Each structure stands twice: as structure tokens, then as C-alpha cells.
Amino acid sequence: MKALFKSGPQAGFELVDRPEPRTGEGDVKIKVMTTGICGTDLHIQAWDPWAQENIPTPLIPGHEFYGEVVETGSLVRDVQVGDRVSGEGHIVCGTCRNCRAGRRQMCIRTVSVGIQRDGAFAEYVVIPETNVWVHRDPSITPELGAIFDPFGNAVHTALSFPLVGEDVLITGAGPIGLMAIAVARHAGARNIAITDISASRLDLAKRMGADMTIDVSHERMAEAQEQLRLTEGFDVGLEMSGRASALREMIDNMTHGGRIALLGLPTEDIAINWGKVVTHMLTLKGIYGREMFETWYAMSAMLQSNPVLHEAISGVITDVLPAAEWERGFESARHGTGGKVVLDWRRI
């Protein structure tokens, strides 16, 4: 099969022929149709310090995908050949305390598809049946199905706290931040403000339904408070950027008792005003991945019941390229001015 491959501990990928993965007795083999390019994939391609510390090689990366089941193992019970599917990228042990308590997203032995084991930037990928999400809704296109993983990040982050009637501040208008706008609107938020430094992404944010966009290269979050007539600050913060300045400024603009969900992964330690966190009684909650599988049920139900949300999430995809043009796709994703980039593995 054709696959993007990192042969050793160095920058770059190669589009080469690799052996098809074998299907174990509890596994499902999927013929990949589409894949999304994630920020993690950019780290792996660049072979930056994070990748050097966390990524074993050789490796086929890629963890956001949609495809068709072509083979099932002898112990597979519910997934059938011909099913159209996406996949939960976190493979858990099933026996640690959190797994046994139903908190699988907190498994202490998580292995990630496309990070610690071969992933979906290939014509075929194999994952356990327990990680397969079957799409029953025919309105889910291959392109939309390929971004269920990051859509799940947006849903998990946005729904960490009740949003009905709340004023929401989102820092970072990347694809997940953009999707979080639509989720927050669906969930009943009153005002939604979002920050970034990319004019094109802030324009996308307006189309997604943001009440106010803030270009933090020359505007401050406090100005958003004033323009939205918030007398006490934002109720809920969704930190998507991983930037120290964003978190610090968000904390300064939260109401007393405000709640912040943190999805953005910092590349360095962040010093914050812990005195304000304590005296303003703020709640900070770390988010990693999705709840398995409550988030998957929630996002499927939301898309099926709300055509406006369906259209908005689909609109986050701004580039669909043949897999053969993967280098152009990665360049577009790294440029950081558009939405989601999807590679089509039916065109290699």
C-alpha cells in the first residue's frame, strides 16, 4: 500500500510502498478514504523537540480519518465489512482504575494511533473494534467524517461546563477553536468572542457565528468585554492556543467563579497569577482528546439534529487535496491562515 512514512528520527515524510497492516482477531481493517492533517502531524513532520521526545520511528503517522471497513477479525461482533467509519485514536488498556470506572479517556496506558503505533496516512489502517465509530447518518461525507477526531476535541472542550446563557471567550481560531464557536452557539451561549492574529481565520470565525473577533496583535480582550457590555467578565473560557499570553490574559478577563477549559498544549512552562485564580475562585480544567464515547454520541446527535451546525462544521474544511499532494497540504496547514486541510487517499 502507499503510505506517508517516517523511516527514522529525522524531519520529513516519504510517500512510499509499505506492507498492508495485518488484522488481529479483535481488529478491523479500514480502507482509508480521507484524512485530516493535525497540528500533531506537523510536529512529527518537523521532528521538533516534542516529536523527538514522544515519537518512536519508523512510523506511519495520521490519526484523523474516514474510510470503509474491508476486513474484520474473528472476534469482531458489531462492526461489519462495508461500514463507513471514523476511529477514536486513543487505544486504552481496559484494566487500569480509570478504564474500569468508565473513564477511558483518562487511561494511564493510552497508546495513540499515528503516534505510538502506525496510523492512517496510508491506504489501509488497522484499529481495534472498540475504537471504531460507525457512521449511521448518510449526511456524513468522507471529508466531514475525516475531522470527527478534532470535532470531538471541540465538543469535549466546549461542553466541559454549562453554556446556556453564558458569555464565552475562546483563545485561538484554529480549526478546533472555530468548531467550538458553533458548538457553543448550539449549546446556548449568549456572547461568543474569539482571539487570533490571522485576519483570514478571524473572518472564518465571524462566519461560524462569533459575536466578536479580537486580533490580539493590536487589540485586547478587555476591549471585547467593553464592546459586549460585560460588567463582570467572561463566564467560560476555552483556551485552544497553548500560548502563555493567551492564558494569562484570559484569566484577567474572567468573572469571579469563572471556568476555563484548557485544550491548547503549551510548548513551555507558563507562569500565571495564581493569586487571582485563588481569590477569584476560578476553575481550570485540562482537556485531552474526547470522552469515550459520550463525546462521539453527542457530536453525531448534534450534527444530525442541527443542519446549521452541520453546515458550520463542514465549512471549517477549507482545503481538500489528493494524497499525492500531501506536501502542499502540510504547507497549507502549517501556514496557519485557513481552516482544516483534508487529504483524499482515493487520489494518490
**Catalytic site positions:** 40, 43
Rounded Cα distance, 280 and 255, in Å? 8
- CA triplet 343, 344, 347: central angle to 5 degrees? 130
Rounded Cα distance, 327 and 249, in Å? 36
Cell of 319: 482545503
74-86 in b/e form (b: 16+ CB < 10 A) is eebeebeeebbbb
Radius of gyration of the chain (CA): 20
Q: How many Cβ atoms from other residues are within 10 Å of residue 202's Cβ?
A: 19
Cell 452557539, located at residue:
185
In the three-class reduction of DSSP (H, G, I as helix; E, B as strand; rest coil), residue 227 is classed as helix
CB of 263 within 8 A of CB of 238? yes
Cell 458553533, located at residue:
182
In the three-class reduction of DSSP (H, G, I as helix; E, B as strand; rest coil), residue 54 is classed as helix
Beta strands in 73-211 (DSSP E): 84-87, 90-91, 111-112, 124-128, 132-134, 167-171, 191-196
Residue 203: CA atoms inside 13 Å, Cβ hemisphere, count?
7
Largest distance between two CA atoms of the chain: 62
203-220 in b/e form (b: 16+ CB < 10 A) is ebbeebbbbbbbebeeee
Distance of CA 274 to the CA centre of its chain: 28
